[in-house]
Structure formats: C-alpha cells, structure tokens
Structure 1
Amino acid sequence: MRTTPLLYASAALPLLAASLALPASTAQAAPEAPAPLLYGELAPEGAFATAPPAGVWWSSTGSAPDYTGGTLKASVKAGTVNRWDAQVGRNGVALRAGALYTLSFDARSSVAASVRATVQQSGGAYEAPLARDVTLDPVSKRYQWTFRSTIDTVAGASAQITFQLGGQKAATDFTFDDVSLTTSTAREGFFVDPGSNARQWADAHPGDGRTGKIRDQIADRTTVKWFGGWNTDVQKDVDSYIDKATAAGQLPTLVAYNIPGRDCGGASGGGAADAEAYKKWMDGFVAGIAGRPALVVLEPDAVAQADVEGNCLTPEKREARFDMLWYANQHLDAQGPYVKTYIDAGNATWTLGARREDDPADKGIGLSDMADMLGRSGIHLADGVAVNVANYHSTDISDDYGRRLAARVEERLGVDTTWVVDTSRNGNGAYKIPGDADSGQVGFCNPPQRKLGSASQVGENGAAYYLWIKNPGDSDGRHADDARCPAEGPQYKAGDFSPEFAVRLVDGA
C-alpha cells in the first residue's frame, strides 16, 4: 500500500538511464487500456488499494492479475524461455520524446528470480527507452530509475509499463506494490496562458506596429494565470485552465488573489467579502486543481500587509487573515505531492533585504517578523515562499532575500523551506528616482527603464523556480498623490494591459 508520496520515495537502485541496448519485448499485445494519461502520475492506480478497472492492468502469465491484500500478485510456472513469455503490465501510457520520466515500484519474489522492468512501446518494435534487469528475493525492496524517452506516443499508439517474469527455473510467486510512473514536472515545460491580456491585445491588434514584439516577447512567454473575485465560477475556471495544461503536458502556474482587504484597499484592492466567503472561494480553487500538477503562488502581499507596524488591519482582521492563509495552505497541501504552494513573502526592500535589524529607527519588516507571520500562516504546510511578486528587484537581490528568509524560517520554526522569484520585470533591477538618493526603489506604478527578466525556469542557488508571476504589460496602477510615481508612466488602472508599458519592458527603455 502506498504510504509516502512517490516523488520522494527512496530508491534502492538509483540510476539515470538513457535508451538502453537491451532486447525489446516481442510479447503478445495487451488488452486495450483507457485513454492515455499525459501528465503527473501515469499509473494512478499503482498502489492497488482497490482492484483497478478491468483492462487497466493485464497479465500474460496464464492467470488474471490478483490484487488481494492491496498488491499486484502474479505466479509463473517453470518452463518459459524468454523474459517476455510471462508478463504483467499496464497499457495506456503516453510518452513524449526527450521528456524525463521516473519509474518506481516495490517488488519481491518467493525465491530468487531475475525479472525485467520496462517502459516501452505497446506494439510494433516494442522500443524500450527504459529496460532494467533486477534480481528479486523474498524481501521487498524499492526500485527507481529516471530515464529520458526516445519515443513519442502522444500522436498515436501508447506505451506500456511491463514486468517481464518469464525464464524462471522454478515456479515463482511475484508481488508488486506502489508502482509509479511520473513525469519530471519542471523539465516538461511551463504552460503558457492562451488567454493572457497580452495575447488578447495582440490578437485584437494585428496591424499595430507593436504587436509582433508584444506577441513574441510577452504573450508567448506568459506562464501564469491569476484567479480572484472576477472568476464567477473559480472551480470551473481553474479546472479548465489545468485541463489545458494537462493536455499540453506542461506545468501550470496559478496565483490565488482574493484575500479580504486585498492590497490594503490600494490600486489592486478588492477580495472576498469575509473569511467565510474566502474559504468557500478557496474550496472551489482547490477543487479545480484536483490533485493535478500545479504551482500555486498564494496571496501576494497578504502576509507582509499583516505586519503590526503600520498595517491596515485591525487586530481581529489580522488574526482572521492568518487563519485564512492557514486554511488555504492546509487544503492545498491535502492535494498531494504534485501541487506546490509558495506563500508570498514580500520583496527585498519591503520585507528586510536592506533593513538593518539592529537599527531601532528602521521600521521595515524584519526577517524574524516575517518568519513568525509565515509560521502563523502555515508555512510548514507549503513548499516555500514567493518573493519579488510584481516588483523589480534583480534576481541576485531577491535570491539573497529568499536565502536569508529561508534560514530564519528554519532557525525560528524548524521548517526547511525554499523560495521562488518573480523575474517577469526585473531585467534592469529596481527603479530609483534619478538624482534622489533617498527615493528608495519605486515598484508599484509602472516605472520607466525596467526590463523583462528571465523566462520561467528552474531556479538556481537554492531557489526552486524563477517564474513570471506578474504578467508583463499589466499595469501596476497609478498613485497620483505619490510624488515617486513618474509622471510619464502609463495611466492604466491596476491589472489592465498597457501596450506602452509592455514595449518599454521589452526594450528596457
């Protein structure tokens, strides 16, 4: 029975396999299976807690698969010659050429027996990008290999998982459990939002001289979708978005942005009416994900704006906010190992970074304060924090903040965590008003001379990911009464798409 997430199960024989020069099976074709799964866990019934539907797993050992006791059992008589003369397996697996996959399983046999585990074509030449021989014995062990597929089945025939058991000198009983075939999520690529503001603008303005630049440099690289009160049926909308990502075999990034009192009533103000409404909304958001692979950035600004010093919340509303964030983390965590949640933790200026904790006059949020607030928000249930969301700090500065905050979270809370960085607009770093050494960085009103940062990718130096979180070209909003906002900045309200701002970000001018 499966007791731990398979992504983190230890491997008895960890190996990286390319296409292997081992004999491919020429076994009889297995029964037809359900429509191929494309993403995440490709053998979801592999714990065998209940018998899988007929035709999902098959046997050519002379008897049907036996699932009694929550495992897959097979018995093989002596006398067969080849490994593939007696098999159990699963059809209906879709592979993409060049993508990485991990096969893992527990196995034992009644007597010492050599078997072959494969992931291979279901017919034709039975090409096997993974084929490994192992010797089983009466003590169950865990086996795991990561391999790169050399075949592409998405457009046509499917592949299969097989355990080839033939060629035994004596009658042998085999037991398999916790069989898992997973995609390697980050390497599958990030899903590009087909309905982003930049895409809609580009589609609506085919003759505009800026369209090619906005389409190629922004719309084709926009890899996040924000969800909030504007979604009249958030469960349906999230489900639809993840369906599209799943069909593409890619990893979607979603932002949950509906906390009551959002943005302290500022340019991005709004949110659910109260805690009860928020939890109901979050229930729909989580149900739409339905355990499928996804990255979730949870409530930008919500934790930092709950700081005691100068915050916009009453003590009661502050406690309610921590409770709502805990609720969200708890329910996202319950979705399983393929849903990764990152709680927003401000940026390198707002939430420490340059702040001196030994300076009583410096009223910024300290690392310890932020760590404690994250603890009250359920950081131990999340996978990490998000930094620099909708801001402009360089990746180096943001990594430094993330690293220091992660160390403080571990020190104060005993929680091992990581971080993701919003790199959507940080190519030139943060903006400071020319000639004003005391201006600080201006990060909220479409400042000039900012530039696109690196596209979504796996992080470095401790960061889990570098992600485009704020959609480039979407306005920060205007603060007409704030002298730090450049007068020439685009006058679009928060969230609206500004082609002027988009082109500035492409050009860095």
Structure 2
Amino acid sequence: MITTPGLFRAVGAPVLVAALLASATPSASAADAQPVYGELADNGTFAAGTTGWWSTGTTMTAADGALAATVDAGTANPWDAMVGQGGLRLRPGVRYTLSFDARASTAATMRATAQLDAAPHTATLDRTVGLTPSSQHFSWTFTSGIDTTAGALTFQLGGQPAATDIVLDNVSLTTSTAREGFYTDPGNNAAVWAGTHSDDTRAARIKASIGDHNTVKWFGDWDADGDPTTGIGAEVSDYVGAAAAEGRLPVLVAYNIPGRDCGGASSGGAGSPDLYKAWIDAFAQGVAGRPAIVVLEPDAVAQASDEACMNGGAEQRFDMLRHATRQLQQQGAFVRTYLDAGNATWTLGPDLSGTQGIGLEKMAYLLDRSGVSMARGVSVNVSNFDDTAVSDDYARRLAARLEADFGLTSRWVVDTSRNGNGGHVVPGSPDSGHVGFCNPAGRRLGVTSRAGSPGGAEYQLWIKNPGDSDGDSAQCPANSPAAGSFSPELAEALIDGS
C-alpha cells in the first residue's frame, strides 16, 4: 500500500453519505447506510453540476455534463490542487473498478486515488496518467486493501508546469456489477467433475472450456424449503455474498414453480402455491438487495397457455409469478429480474386474434398476466439452441408487442450456452428443421456470459450449464443421463461442436 504525505481536505468540503442500500442491511448505522454494492460514485456524469464533489487548491465548475478544474502553475505537489468526493465505503478483499474520461487544455499529468480520507491517507489505488487535449478513457480494477467508511476518491491535479484546464467526465467507482465480470459458481457440475476426475484425459479441457465459465446457479426443490434462515434463503444469501466478496455479479435461476415442466424430464417444483410463495419469499430475502441477475421460472409462462398442462390452474400460476416478480422487485434497483418468455420457435398456437404462429400477442398477454411489469424484462432461449440473432429478433418483436399492447418497456437476456451452431439441423439453413429439445447432436458452445450489444440483449448468459443433460425421456438420445446430471460426453461434444 502507498501512503500519500501531506494530503489534506478543506474543512468545509461536502461529504457524500448516500442511503442507497439502507433497507438491504439489518443495521441502521451510518456505515450500513452507505452504498456498498453497485455504483459508489455520486453524480459521476455531473448532470447535477458539482453536487457531491469537493475541491481544494483549484476552482471547479460543471458545464455540458462534465467537471472542469482550473489549475494554476507553480504548485509543487499533485495534492496541492484536487477534486474528489469522500464518505465512501471500501471493504478489504473486495474488487472495485474505477473508470473515467479526462482531458486537459495542454499536456498534463493527473493522479487518481482511492484512499483513506484522513491521516494516514493510505491509498489502495494510486495511478498517475498523462492527459492531452483529446479525451481519453481510463479504467482499472483493483482489490481494496483498506477497510473504511471514510474512503475518498481523489483526482490530484497540482504540479503542472503551466496553467491548465482539466476536464473530468463519466466517473464511475463500482463493485459487483457486470463491469467487474460475472461470478462463476465454484460448485458447478463441470468444475466438480473435472476436479474429481483429474486422471481423465478430458478433465482439463472440460474445466477450461466449461467449468471455468459456468456463471449461473439454479435453485429449486433440491434446495431446502421455506425458512429464510436455515433453508433456501441462507443458500441464496451465501451464494450472493460469495459473489459480492469477489466483486462479481451473480446470476441465479429460480426454478421451483409447482407443476414444473408439465411433468416432463425436469418435473417437480414446490408442493403447493403457498409453499412456492414461502420459497420465493425466502429466495428474495436471501438476495437482500445486493446486485444480482435473477432468471425467473424458465418455461413457466409459456406453459401456462397449455390447458392440458395447467388443468385449470393457469390463474394460480399467474398469481404465483406475480407474487415472485413483486418480491424480487422489492429488493431494489440492484436486483434485475428477467421473467422467462420461452424461445423463438415455441409455437403457442393461435394468437388471440386467431392467427397461427409463434404467438407474440399471446406471449405478451401471458407475460402481462404474470407480472412482467415488475421485472426488468424477459429471458429467451433458456436451455435452447437458437442463435443469438434469431433470439434477439424474437425478443425485439416481443418487446414491441408488450409496448404496443400494455405500454411496457422490456429488456431481455439470451441464453448463449449451447447456441454456437444455432438451432437448425443444418446450421444456417432455416428450411432444414429445428433440432429437438433434448441433448441434440451437432450443437456447440456459444459466447460466454457478457454484457450485450446496443439494440440487442442486455446480457448474453450461459443460463443452461453446458454438459448438464436435458433429460432421459423417450425423446432423448439413448443412454442420456437424467435431467441436470453432468455428462463428460455431452460436454466434450459441445466443445467440439460434434
């Protein structure tokens, strides 16, 4: 760690103490009221002028969504002229990312730190950069070596050979967000298999290609029911907490709806609507307002249109899904819920207007009944094989339908775990027919979990864990393992695209 001598702050400088997550922690202390997860920098785009920022040894102003500081020549040290903000919660061992854009009216240097806001001013991040009249983007990920509720983010501007105007914009200090990367489930089936079969010649490549990239954990009736202290709530809390400790974003699948999979290979779920509501309540309490992506009940919405499956229970299912989306919504802005919307080739039968086809109007109706207005958006292609372009097209048209019919803005995530060869028997040939749902041959791994692209999915995620079997029913290839069981043969076929 680096100690910065001589650093000071004006006594009257404003101190940032936000309360973004006060409801997510049991204590009402000032420390717990500070932002801990997500975006820690206040007003980093300077849309609110200089609110939340202090300066010393320089004059700062805000214009055109940026902060400008005028630095006179003749200061001896970088810390003789500064802008910054304080009152930051920095936790030891947690990963953070600092990023910003900066430029100067003439060639200059600037020192950026994350540090204690009082003596001994220990810095856990200390970088000096060169600035030019052209704006540059800077970004560093670091692990905090200090534990404080009085951290500071400083931009030290002194020591310039000539009078200089320095401009800052898009300042961001984050932890446990997609910027830091997704949390890999250490207990995923591929990683566990590779670890227990180190003498198998396939183990190393399965670990490197799959086990190290399985960033989604499924929770269902194999987990304990009900009690948020000793059951599913504790399991979810432990998982989300482990991700937060690494500064990574966890992705969870809630998969416990009664009558799950309509009695198919992945059948099961809670024993009753009341038990499901207790389970999802505990699940949401386990997340506890911390950053997380939740994919909610794959297939449950689409299957609600199947009366043979529902047997008169569609209204109960809608009620359970609305309850689930509401509970997760109440966890706050750091929790992003995506209600599952099937896939691009799931035919729901005639639309409400009587038109045959994919059933966009019907799917939009089902999603609305299921509480999608309380979710961030929808998930598509979960455990399926359609390529990302096909899935984006479906989700884009579905989002337009939701907006037209219900005035809803819907984003989406795409399961890319096994869509590297698309979902057609002959990749790229739509007329050749769609592959079956259960362990089809010729599929390949898709891109690993990442943020999406403008106009497309918000995230591309490995939701289905590659190598985990789709089931062993009559529709599956002979000798397929039971649903959810890991198969090195399936895993290697996905790696090779064979």
Compute the TM-score of the two structures, normalised by the length of structure 2: 0.71
Match of 1:330 among 306, 326, 331: 326
| Code of the aligned partner of 1:448 | A
Please give the alpha-carbon distance, in whole angstroms, between the structure 1 residues aligned to 2:174 and 2:338. 22
The yes-or-no answer on 1:384 pairing with 2:372 is no
Kept in 2: contact 1:260–1:270 (CA 8 A): yes
Contact 2:92 2:144 in 1 (8 A): yes
d(CA) in 1 for partners of 2:84, 2:361: 61
For 1:446-461, list aligned pairs within 5 A. Answer: 446-460=439-453, 461=455
Counterpart residue number, 2:259:
261
The answer to whether the 8 Å contact 1:100/1:183 transfers is: no
Aligned length: 409
The whole-number CA distance in structure 2 between the counterparts of 1:370 and 1:325 is 14
Alignment-derived partner of residue 193 in structure 1: 185
> What are the within-5 Å matches in structure 2 for residues 85-484 of structure 1?
89-90=87-88, 92=90, 99-100=97-98, 120-122=114-116, 123-124=121-122, 148-150=138-140, 152-155=142-145, 160-161=151-152, 182-183=174-175, 185-232=177-224, 233-307=231-305, 309-315=306-312, 317-351=313-347, 362=356, 365-432=358-425, 440-460=433-453, 461-480=455-474, 482=475
Q: Give the letter aligned to residue 27 of structure 1.
A: L
CA contact (8 A) 1:424 1:455 kept: yes
Query: What value does the CA root-mean-square deviation take over the aligned residues?
Result: 4.4
Residues in 1 aligned to 2:310 and 2:368: alpha-carbon distance in whole angstroms: 18
- Aligned residues of 1:120 and 1:129 also touching (Cα < 8 A): no
Aligned pair in 2 of structure 1 residues 210, 358: CA closer, same or farther (>3 Å)? same
Deviations 1:237-260 (A, max 9, x none): 111111111111100100000000
Query: Over residues 96-149 of structure 1, what are the superposed CA-to-partner deviations in whole Å (9 max), with x where a residue is unaligned?
Result: 88824689xxxxxxxxxxxxxx86322257966699xxxxxxxxxxxxxx9855
* Mapped contact 2:99–2:140 kept (Cα < 8 A): no
Q: Give the direction of change, closer, same or farther, for the CA distance of 1:261–1:438 in structure 2 (3 Å limit).
A: farther
User: Alpha-carbon deviation of 1:402?
Assistant: 0.7
Go from structure 1 to structure 2 and tell me whether the alpha carbon gap of 1:388 and 1:52 turns closer, same or farther (over 3 Å shift).
Answer: same
Q: Which amino acid is the alignment partner of residue 152 of structure 2? A: I
Instruction: Verify: 1:499 aligned to 2:496, yes or no.
Output: no
Deviations 1:13-61 (A, max 9, x none): xxxxxxxxxxx8833699xxxxxxxxxxx9664799977259989xxxx
Structure 2 letter corresponding to 1:52: A
What SS does the corresponding residue of 1:246 show, helix, strand or coil? helix
**Once the 2 structures are TM-superposed, how far is the Cα of residue 163 of structure 1 from its aligned partner?**
8.7
Residue identity matched to 2:292: A
Q: Percent identity?
A: 49
Alpha-carbon shift at residue 463 of structure 1 (Å): 1.0
2:61 is aligned to none
Structure 1 pair 440–305 and aligned structure 2 pair: CA distance change class (3 A): farther
3-state SS, counterpart of residue 206 of structure 1: coil
CA shift for structure 1 position 443: 3.5
Q: Structure 2: where are the runs of 5+ without partners? A: 11-15, 36-50, 57-74, 102-111, 130-135, 156-171, 225-230
**Corresponding letter in the other structure for 2:151:** Q
**TM-score between both structures, scaled by the size of structure 1:** 0.70
In structure 1, the partner of 2:6 is 26
Once the 2 structures are TM-superposed, how far is the Cα of residue 185 of structure 1 from its aligned partner? 1.5
C-alpha offsets along residues 352-403 of structure 1, whole Å, 9 cap, x if unaligned? Answer: 7xx89699584x5510100011001111110010000000111111111011
Secondary structure of residue in 1 paired with 2:294: strand
Q: CA shift at 1:478, angstroms?
A: 2.4
1:78-89 alignment to 2 at 5 Å?
A: 89=87
CA distances 1:158-178 after superposition (whole Å, capped 9, x unpaired)? 7822699xxxxxxxxxxxxxx
Could you tell me which runs of 5 or more consecutive residues in structure 1 were left unpaired when the two chains were aligned.
1-23, 31-41, 58-70, 104-117, 132-145, 165-179
Q: Quickly say closer, same or farther: Cα 1:162–1:213, change in 2 above 3 A.
A: closer
Asked whether the 8 Å contact 1:190–1:252 carries over to 2, the reply is yes
TM alignment of 1:32-51, pairs within 5 A: 45=19
What is the aligned partner in structure 2 of residue 21 from structure 1?
Answer: none
Say whether the 8 Å CA contact 1:97–1:148 is kept in structure 2.
Answer: no
Closer, same or farther in 2 for the Cα pair 1:443/1:388, shift >3 Å? farther
Residues 54, 83 of structure 1: CA spacing in aligned structure 2 closer, same or farther, 3 A cutoff?
A: farther
Letter in 1 for 2:114: Q
Q: State the Cα distance separating 1:349 from its structure 2 match.
A: 0.6
- SS across alignment from 1:409: helix
